[in-house]
Structure formats: structure tokens, C-alpha cells
């Protein structure tokens, strides 16, 4: 439980081709973009990405790093459709497993609690069973015998998340309006790497926010990276909002040109 501080390059070097990588945040909010850029600079290929997707998914698709995406959506929030994910999907370059948002959450919960699946009503009455024929339903063993969707656990080799503050041992704290399920990614993955806006002493974490803001325990974390601005151009409230100008440039500029510009 000692010092777990790493660099972005060191984190990226632990990810191997063919792995399943969970990426925290939501759409264009508090995405671990510094760690994603580390993957972009690495030689990995054929990744399965599990994400409430945003530019993290789009960039990795544009860079031909992805074999399969598991997501309920891929959006930039203020720009509804992520262009590079859409292009890869329309060109048939990636496989896509699309779940309802609630189903996706139950998959993360199942993975976090080491369960093979969890039952839910989310997705019933929709086309989710038609487009995902591998899904199964189960009947409640209790009165009424209600039929429910059995959502398989979303487990990952690696999870990448970004938070506002962390200590050198990996205790991680969010200070914004929403945890975005980052703790579930950490629990459902074999290894979790956390980037943060600022490393602080453990005793100072409670000076930054209440105990409830200590989202991720060091026991879940393999490595921690200090990366100021490490979510940009997505938001990381209250440290900074989304950089709408840079996000528009990302959408309007060919990927190779945008990537070269850094």
C-alpha cells in the first residue's frame, strides 16, 4: 500500500493488445484523456473498450486501436454524435455491443461485485434483445415469476479513470457534481489506473471535500498519475469546464491533422 505514482507512459506500457479497457467518465465529462493519449502513442491494437463513451472512444477508433466497443452511447454532450466513432461504425471497422444505459450500469455492478450477471427490467420492451441475441432472460424465483434481462458482468483487464484529487497511495477523490460510476470501473477491473488534477497529502483530502467524495480506495488502485488538465478537452468540474472550442476543432478537423497538433 505504498507509493503508487506512475507516469502516463508507464501506465500505457502495461496495456497489451487484445485487452478489455474500461474508461470512466461520461460522454464529454471527466474523461481520462491524458491516459487515453498514452494509449494513442502506444503500439496496442484490437482493444475492447467499455465506456459511457465520448472522445475517448472516438480517438481510439480513429487511431485504429479498437476491435470492439461496449457502450450505451458515444457522445460529446454539446455535440450529440461522436464523429470518429460514427465513421468507424458505419465503415464496419469495429464491433459494437449497445446496451441501454441502465443495463450498462447493471453490467458494471455485476462486474464490481464479482457476479456473473444481474437481472434488470431495463431494456425490456426495446430492441436491445433483438440486436444482442446473445443476451438471455431469467425468471424471478419469487411470487409472480417476472421475466427479467440477465445482464452479463462487464469485467475489464484495465480501468482508466480521472479524478480531481488523489494521494500517492491511490486514494482518489472527485469534487464535481457526479461520480460517473468510476468506482464501479475500479472494482470491476483487474487493474485500475487513476489520473488526477493534483496529488495531495492523504491528510489534505478531507480539506478538499467531504468523506463521501473519496470515491476510490487505494485498495482498488494499481497506479496513480498526476496529470493537471488530464481530462481536457472534456470537463473536470470544479477545476475546469469543457473546452468547447477545442472540442469543435476536434470534430471539424481530420483526425491525422488534429492528432499531429497534439
* Domain around 15: 8-124+147-254
The closest alpha carbon to 82, from 235, 234, 196, belongs to 234
Q: What is the pLDDT of residues 91-110, one digit of tens each?
A: 999 999 999 999 999 999 99
Distance of alpha carbon 176 from alpha carbon 32, whole angstroms: 15
**Residue 139 resides in a domain:** no
Distance of alpha carbon 227 from alpha carbon 229, whole angstroms: 6
**Residue 130 resides in a domain:** no
Q: How many domains does the chain have?
A: 1
**Any idea which residue has 427490467 for its cell?**
121
Distance of alpha carbon 163 from alpha carbon 160, whole angstroms: 10
**Residue 92 resides in a domain:** yes
Residue 222 has pLDDT above 90, yes or no: yes
| CATH code, domain with 175 | 3.40.1080.10
Residue 261 has pLDDT above 90, yes or no: no
Helix (H, G, I), strand (E, B) or coil at 99: coil
Distance of alpha carbon 24 from alpha carbon 99, whole angstroms: 16
Q: What is the pLDDT of residues 139-167, one digit of tens each?
A: 999 988 999 999 999 999 999 999 999 99
Can you list the alpha helix ranges (DSSP code H) found in 4-127? 8-13, 33-41, 55-62, 83-90, 101-112
**Residue 260 resides in a domain:** no
Count the alpha carbons within 13 Å of 65 in the hemisphere toward its beta carbon: 26
Question: How many residues are there in the chain?
Answer: 262
The kind and range of the H/E element at 118 are strand 117-120
**Residue 169 resides in a domain:** yes
Q: What is the pLDDT of residues 166-219, one digit of tens each?
A: 999 999 999 999 999 999 999 999 999 999 999 999 999 999 999 999 999 999
Residue 56 has pLDDT above 70, yes or no: yes
The closest alpha carbon to 168, from 13, 47, 1, 36, belongs to 1
**Residue 56 resides in a domain:** yes
Helix (H, G, I), strand (E, B) or coil at 103: helix
**Residue 69 resides in a domain:** yes
Residue 262 has pLDDT above 90, yes or no: no
Q: What is the pLDDT of residue 260?
A: 82
**Residue 137 resides in a domain:** no
Strand order in the sheet with 147-152: 117-120, 147-152, 136-139
**Any idea which residue has 466513432 for its cell?**
85
Q: What is the pLDDT of residues 1-51, one digit of tens each?
A: 589 999 999 999 999 999 999 999 999 999 999 999 999 999 999 999 999
Q: What is the pLDDT of residue 1?
A: 53
Amino acid at each position: 500500500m505504498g507509493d503508487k505514482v506512475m507516469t502516463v507512459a508507464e501506465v500505457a506500457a502495461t496495456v497489451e493488445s487484445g485487452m478489455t479497457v474500461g474508461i470512466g467518465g461520461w460522454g464529454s465529462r471527466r474523461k481520462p484523456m491524458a491516459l487515453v493519449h498514452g494509449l494513442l502513442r502506444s503500439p496496442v491494437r484490437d482493444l475492447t473498450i467499455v465506456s459511457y463513451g465520448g472522445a475517448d472512444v472516438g480517438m481510439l477508433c480513429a487511431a485504429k486501436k479498437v476491435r470492439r466497443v461496449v457502450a450505451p452511447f458515444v457522445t460529446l454532450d454539446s455535440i450529440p454524435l461522436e464523429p470518429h466513432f460514427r465513421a468507424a461504425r458505419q465503415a464496419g471497422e469495429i464491433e459494437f455491443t449497445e446496451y441501454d444505459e441502465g443495463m450498462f450500469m447493471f453490467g458494471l455492478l455485476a462486474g464490481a461485485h464479482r457476479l456473473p450477471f444481474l437481472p434488470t427490467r431495463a431494456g425490456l420492451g426495446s430492441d436491445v434483445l433483438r440486436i444482442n441475441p446473445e443476451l438471455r432472460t431469467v425468471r424471478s424465483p419469487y411470487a409472480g415469476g417476472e421475466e427479467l434481462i440477465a445482464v452479463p458482468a462487464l469485467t475489464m483487464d484495465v480501468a482508466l479513470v480521472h479524478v480531481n484529487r488523489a494521494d500517492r497511495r491511490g486514494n482518489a477523490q472527485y469534487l464535481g457534481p457526479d461520480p460517473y460510476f468510476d468506482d464501479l470501473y475500479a472494482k470491476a477491473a483487474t487493474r485500475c489506473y487513476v489520473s488526477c488534477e493534483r496529488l495531495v497529502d492523504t491528510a489534505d483530502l478531507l480539506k478538499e471535500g467531504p468523506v463521501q467524495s473519496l470515491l476510490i480506495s487505494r485498495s482498488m488502485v494499481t497506479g496513480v498519475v498526476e496529470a493537471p488538465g488530464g481530462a481536457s478537452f472534456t470537463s473536470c468540474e470544479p477545476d475546469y469546464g469543457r473546452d468547447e472550442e477545442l472540442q469543435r476543432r476536434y470534430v471539424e478537423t481530420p483526425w491525422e491533422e488534429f492528432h499531429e497538433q497534439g
